């Protein structure tokens, strides 16, 4: 008598998250080292081989860091854990949500699918982060976040100044909705030295120092 190959999958979510509803989770953009653990049990009487990594869909704003391509073999009644580590992109669109779908398959038949929804949380305060890398040559990246200001949009400017306080360049000058932002600053035409970058949005102003080193 032929025995069907049945897989039972238990999903453990070890994220820096808040549980919002069944299969729905709030995650903050920029958080790294989130972890999903799949606990897979082979309840059949025959050995089963699964590809690794399991097929995943819906990861637009996520960067998975597992790189193993090995096949996972489950003996009859055997149980194994499969871990996936991922980062949430800093500039994830907080107005949208992502659905991650895991497909449990042996490359011939899809035995089971599992979905959960990630909702990206809004920043709670204005924040200007230290540029990276710093010192830099000739490019660096600057991150900043804007909370909900009630009106929906906040006029924001991000400018770079030299050591004497002269404006060098305006990187941002527009109304921005709440969210997390990242911009590249290219200093190819500038000489080595100390520069300052300043974020202004509403009543918020913050300035940080960076060093261009040729």
CATH of the domain at 58: 2.60.40.10
Range of the domain at 166: 127-212
Please say which residue of 71, 98, 120 terminates a domain. 120
Dihedral of CA 209/93/203/171: which sign?
positive
Q: Please give the tally of structural domains in the chain.
A: 2
DSSP state of 44: S
Does the pLDDT at position 153 exceed 50? yes
- Shared domain for 14 and 102, answered yes or no, is yes
Cα separation of 10 and 120, whole Å? 24
- Shared domain for 144 and 112, answered yes or no, is no
**Burial label, 85 (beta-carbon count in 10 A; 0-12, 13-18, 19+):** middle
Confidence category of residue 100, pLDDT binned at 50, 70, 90: confident
pLDDT, greater one: 34 or 51: 34
* 1 occurs within a structural domain: no
Confidence category of residue 208, pLDDT binned at 50, 70, 90: very high
Does the pLDDT at position 5 exceed 50? no
* 2 occurs within a structural domain: no
Cα separation of 143 and 129, whole Å? 5
- Shared domain for 115 and 36, answered yes or no, is yes
* 199 occurs within a structural domain: yes
- CA 83 centroid distance within chain: 17
Backbone angles phi, psi at 54, to 5 degrees: -65, 155
Structure confidence at residue 144 (pLDDT) = 97
Do the bridges between strand 62-64 and strand 24-27 make them parallel or antiparallel, or are there none, so unpaired?
A: unpaired
């Amino acid at each position: 008598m032929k025995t069907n190959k049945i897989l039972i999958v238990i999903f453990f979510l070890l994220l820096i998250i808040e549980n919002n509803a069944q299969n729905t989770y709030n995650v903050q953009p920029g958080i790294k080292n989130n972890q999903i653990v799949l606990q897979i049990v082979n309840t059949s009487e025959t050995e089963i081989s699964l590809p690794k990594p399991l097929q995943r869909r819906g990861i637009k704003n996520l960067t998975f860091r597992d790189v193993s391509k090995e096949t996972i073999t489950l003996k009859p009644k055997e149980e194994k854990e499969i871990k996936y580590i991922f980062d949430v992109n800093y500039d994830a669109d907080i107005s949208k949500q992502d659905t991650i779908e895991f497909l449990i398959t042996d490359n011939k038949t899809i035995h089971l699918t599992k979905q959960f929804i990630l909702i990206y949380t809004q920043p709670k305060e204005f924040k200007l982060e230290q540029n990276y890398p710093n010192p830099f040559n000739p490019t660096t990246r600057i991150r900043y976040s804007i909370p909900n200001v009630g009106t929906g949009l906040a006029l924001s400017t991000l400018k770079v100044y030299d050591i004497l306080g002269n404006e060098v360049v305006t990187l941002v000058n527009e109304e921005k909705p709440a969210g997390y932002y990242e911009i590249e600053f290219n200093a190819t035409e500038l000489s080595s030295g100390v520069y300052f970058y300043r974020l202004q949005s509403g009543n918020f102003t913050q300035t940080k120092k960076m060093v261009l080193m040729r």
